[in-house]
Amino acid sequence: MSKPTKPASTRHKSSTEAVHSGRDPSASYGFVNPPVYRGSTVVFPTLDALMARDQPYTYGRRGTPTVSALQEAICKLEGGDATFLTASGLQAVTTSLLAFVEAGDHVLITDSVYQPTRHFCDTVLARLGVTTTYYDPCIGSDLAALITPQTRVVFTESPGSQTFEVQDIPAISEIARTHNLWHVTDNTWASPLYFDALAHGADVSIQAATKYIVGHADAMLGAITTNTRAKPQVLRMHGALGVCPGSEETYLGLRGLRTLPLRLERHFRSALEIASWLEARPEIERVLHPGLPNDPGHAIWKRDFTGASGLFSAVLSPAPREAVAAFVDSLEFFGMGYSWGGYESLILPFDPRSYRTATKWEYDGQALRFHIGLEDVDDLKTDLEAGFARFNAARQS
Q: Is 360 considered catalytic here?
A: no
Of these residues, 111, 168, 186, 295, which one is catalytic?
186
The closest alpha carbon to 184, from 207, 163, 162, 161, belongs to 207
List all residues 6 or more positions away from 339 whose beta carbon is below 8 Å from its beta carbon.
210, 211, 217, 346
Of these residues, 23, 76, 152, 211, which one is catalytic?
211
Determine the Cα–Cα distance for residues 263 and 191; give it in Å rounded to an integer. 12
Helix (H), strand (E) at residue 392: helix 377-396
Of these residues, 61, 229, 303, 321, which one is catalytic?
61
* Residue 239 one-letter amino acid: G
Q: Is 186 considered catalytic here?
A: yes
Q: Is 114 considered catalytic here?
A: yes
Beta carbons within 10 angstroms of residue 57's beta carbon:
15
Per-residue DSSP letters for 240-280?
HTT----HHHHHHHHHHHTTHHHHHHHHHHHHHHHHHHHHT
CA distances from 137 to 180, 189, 203 (A): 20, 15, 18
Of these residues, 114, 135, 212, 251, which one is catalytic?
114
Report the Cα–Cα distance between both ends of the chain, in Å, rounded.
60
* Residue 77 one-letter amino acid: L
Find out whether the peptide bond into 159 is cis, omega within 30 degrees of 0.
yes
* Degrees to nearest 5, angle at CA 211 with 251 and 276: 145
Length of the chain: 397
182-186 sheet: strands from edge to edge? 82-86, 222-226, 204-207, 182-186, 151-157, 106-110, 131-135
Determine the Cα–Cα distance for residues 18 and 15; give it in Å rounded to an integer. 5
**DSSP strand E in the chain: where?**
82-86, 106-110, 131-135, 151-157, 182-186, 204-207, 222-226, 284-288, 311-316, 334-336, 345-350, 367-371
**DSSP strand E in 53-118: where?**
82-86, 106-110
Beta carbons within 10 angstroms of residue 286's beta carbon:
17
| Contact assessment for residue 196 and residue 76, using Cβ atoms and an 8 Å cutoff | no
Q: Is 38 considered catalytic here?
A: no
Backbone angles phi, psi at 302, to 5 degrees: -65, -35
Which residues form the catalytic set? 61, 114, 186, 211
